[in-house]
Structures are given as C-alpha cells and as structure tokens.
Amino acid sequence: MVNDRPHLAVIGAGPAGLAATIAAAARGVRVTLIDSAPEAGGQFYRRPAPGLGARRPQALHHQWPTWERLRDGLRTHVRAGTARHLTDHHVWVVERLPAGFTVHALLGPEQEEPVAVRADAVLLATGGYEKVLPFPGWTLPGVVTAGGAQAMLKGGLAVPGRTAVVAGTGPLLLPVATGLAAAGVKVAALVESADPKSFVRRAGTLAVQPGKVAEGARYAAHLLRHRVRTLVRHTVVEAHGTERLEAVTAAALDGDGRVRPGTERRIACDTLAVGHGMLPHTDLAQTLGCRLDGMDVHVDDEQRTDVPGVWAAGETTGIGGSALSLAEGHIAGRSAAARLHGTAPDAREWAAAARTRTRLRAFFAALDTLYAPPAHWTEQVTDDTVVCRCEEVTAGAIREAVDEFGAGDERTVKLLTRAGMGWCQGRVCGPAVAGLAGCEPTPGRRPFARPVPLGVLARAGETEEQ
C-alpha cells in the first residue's frame, strides 16, 4: 500500500528535486514534489509554454536526453501513485512539528489560497537566483537580467530586443549571449569583467572537468560564428536612454578592478542583459533553523542538513550547475529513503554520484574565484542611482546612512533607509547594499519565503492538510 510508505516532501522540481524524487520514490518512499512553476524542470530545463506549440524545444537546450529521462521517471512514479507533483504551489514556510513537518504553500498565480502538506521528512531543492549589482541607468526599460533574457527565450520563445549587450560576470553570460545570437538578436558585445589570465593560472583545477572546458570552447566558437565582440576585463559603467535603453558605456578595468579612465566606449543597443553571478535560495532552510556555510545551506556527505529530517540538494547548498544538482539530488533521495525506512544508507551505492559531486564542487569553487564583479564597482554608482527598487532608495541615501549615521551592516542600513524592506525583501538589493556599506553580504533573515496575505496567516492552523 502506497499510503503506508513514509512520506517525503521535496520542494523544488529542478534537476536536484527531480533526481531526489525519482531516487526516493524508487526506494519505497511516497514523495510529494512541490514547485511554484507550472511545469517541472526548474531553471535549467525551462521549456516553452505548451500553448506556444514549439516544435523543437530541444533546440534551446543541451542535455535534452537527461531532461527526457527525468520527465519520464517522474511520470512513471506519478502514474504508479508513488509520487505526486504539485505545480503552482509557492511554499512560504515549512513548520517543524514534534514528529514530521507541515509544508505551507500558496496556490496559483494569485498566491492567496493556502495549502498544507504534512510529511515525515523534507528535502529542500529550491535552487538559486541571479545577483545583479546597480549602475547608473540600470532601472531603464530594456535592461533585463541575463537569466531573465534567457527565460523569455526558453519559456516564451520571445527575444527582449533587436540589438543586445550581454554584460556582468559569470558562466551564465555565455549561453545567454549565444542563445540570443542564435535567435536572431544582434549581440553587439559580451562584456565580462573577469580576467582571462586568471583562467590560465587555474588551468590545472579546471582541467579536471574536461566536459565543462569543452562546453566553454563550444560557446566561444558560437560567439565567433555570430561575430560577437567579446570585451574581457571590461564593465558596463552606464546605461543611457530617456524613455528606454538606447546605449551603454563599457570601459576597461585595471589590475585592481578600477575603471581605466579614457577607455570608455559607447555601444548602441536596445537590450542590456546583465548578471553578476548567482546566490542560493536559503529562506526555507533558515526558518527551519538549518546551519548555513556563508550563503549556502550546510549539508553532510548524505546531503543532510543539521536539522533532523531535513535534506538539501542542488544550488541551495551552493552554486554549481545542473550536473552537480543532479548528483546531489540523487544522493539526497537515496539517503532520505534509507533513513525514512530506519536504516543507514550504504554510501558505496552512490559512489559514482559522490565522485561527480567532489569534482564539480572543486571546479565551481575554482570558477567562483575567477568570475567576480570588479572589486571597485561601487565607485561607478552615482548618488542618484536607485539601489533598492522596491522602496526606491538611492545610493546617496545608503551612503548617508553609512557616513553620517554609522551604519555598518545591511540590517542597520535597512532600518535607517528602508532598503530591503519591500516586496523582494532585499533579495535583489542585498549584495549592493552590503557593497555600499563596506561589509560582507549576509543571508537575509526572512521568516517567510514569500509574501503571505494576512488572512492566510490568521487561518494558518485551520488549513486542511493534503
């Protein structure tokens, strides 16, 4: 009987959550996979909405066979009743009970109707999100995040404009630039602040992942084929336009990460796709009381957090790409299944996934030191630049809080200026506020992962459990 099986709630249906669901459901666990998106796949396997009738969605993806394997694995378990997939469910908190957990979600795009799922254990696979640092003009229409441009393309089969500049830092810029170029957008420049010389210095560490190096080479070949001008050790210092974006100014960086005066060049464009790396989603883990390592959820070799009954896998435990998320999800699912059956798992059974995990963690740790925003990026941020878009707080106001009132951390700046107090709760502006305040970014302490209507909070104990 399926209902006699122990029940695992997996939150997040990206590569990590899918791999975990399939691994646990195949080992006698009843799994409820919960995700805010209308379809499984997460960020990496984002596909055109069914209504768009895309004939060859695989053209927008590499590793399509892996997606097909995950999709079919989930379908098999859903049909067998060993897994169910709750789409459009936005989890706002996971409540610890004396025995087990209740996952509280809000249903559908309106996010007003509450749903509660009771489970014996929880696996957090909530992924990560993009970091974007401010610069003059970054709020102009036409400036989008790199991942946002890609989401339009992969999910909506739409392009954000005709002529684009892709800028910032990080490996995500490569698929975004090549994806836009392949879709017919003229990519006027790829502006990357990292220094290629540092890649040569870390060649030994990077070479342990020849597949990833080859992937990078393929992107470079695409850029050449589409004649995309690549400016390395450069940064966008300003976006120009009145009603919307008309051009950007890019400039070269010196060895210390400062703009080299006199190197500024104006590049006409109607789209700027910009990103400065990624950050893990840790809200649910933090509310549960899970320990963090810096910005990442801390896990042991079995992907267990330090809270009994809570596992975490994928980019919530550190940014490392889809293959690492798959390996971690697989290990977490197997571990959870064994522990829920009251046995200790045999790590030899996931030895291959563990080796992949070790190699990819080392690779991405090395990449992390190479891709970085310019060390002195704050020098380009003028006082009238809006930093917190939700509350419309400028860099000048934040500097005043720091210089005049002695604020030295994000929380004090927030109390003095309201930066980070709006809808996104500092997810977007947090790193920028930290940079301007001269402190290290810290994971925001948010009691809820989503804004919750007061009526839902008032009736939280009465929600019927699924």
Ligand X SMILES: Cc1cc2nc3c(=O)[nH]c(=O)nc-3n(C[C@H](O)[C@H](O)[C@H](O)COP(=O)(O)OP(=O)(O)OC[C@H]3O[C@@H](n4cnc5c(N)ncnc54)[C@H](O)[C@@H]3O)c2cc1C
> Would you tell me which residues interact with ligand X (CB under 6 A)?
11-17, 34-37, 42-44, 90-91, 125-130, 147, 150-151, 172, 175, 281, 314-315, 321-322, 325, 449
Q: Which of 247, 245, 273 is nearest to 145 (CA)?
A: 273
CA distance 434 to 419: 11
In the bound state with ligand X, the residue whose beta carbon lies nearer, of 9 and 251, is 9
In the bound state with ligand X, the residue whose beta carbon lies nearer, of 149 and 407, is 149
Q: In the bound complex, what is the minimum distance in angstroms from residue 27's beta carbon to ligand X?
A: 20
Q: Which of 269, 313, 13 is nearest to 149 (CA)?
A: 269
Contacts for 450 with CB less than 8 Å, ≥ 6 apart: 90, 91, 92, 106, 111
Q: In the bound complex, what is the minimum distance in angstroms from residue 363's beta carbon to ligand X?
A: 13
In the bound state with ligand X, the residue whose beta carbon lies nearer, of 122 and 247, is 122
In the bound state with ligand X, the residue whose beta carbon lies nearer, of 71 and 258, is 71
In the bound state with ligand X, the residue whose beta carbon lies nearer, of 265 and 445, is 445
Q: In the bound complex, what is the minimum distance in angstroms from residue 14's beta carbon to ligand X?
A: 2
Q: In the bound complex, what is the minimum distance in angstroms from residue 93's beta carbon to ligand X?
A: 9
In the bound state with ligand X, the residue whose beta carbon lies nearer, of 321 and 373, is 321
CA distance 57 to 50: 10
In the bound state with ligand X, the residue whose beta carbon lies nearer, of 148 and 396, is 148
In the bound state with ligand X, the residue whose beta carbon lies nearer, of 296 and 410, is 296
In the bound state with ligand X, the residue whose beta carbon lies nearer, of 60 and 267, is 60
Q: In the bound complex, what is the minimum distance in angstroms from residue 336's beta carbon to ligand X?
A: 15
Q: In the bound complex, what is the minimum distance in angstroms from residue 95's beta carbon to ligand X?
A: 14
Q: In the bound complex, what is the minimum distance in angstroms from residue 118's beta carbon to ligand X?
A: 17
Q: In the bound complex, what is the minimum distance in angstroms from residue 104's beta carbon to ligand X?
A: 10
Terminal C-alpha separation, the chain: 18
Task: Convert 293-324 to b/e letters by CB count within 10 Å (16 or more is b).
Answer: eebbbbbeebbbbebebbbbbbbbbbbbbbbb
Contacts for 446 with CB less than 8 Å, ≥ 6 apart: 283, 286, 287, 425
Q: In the bound complex, what is the minimum distance in angstroms from residue 273's beta carbon to ligand X?
A: 11
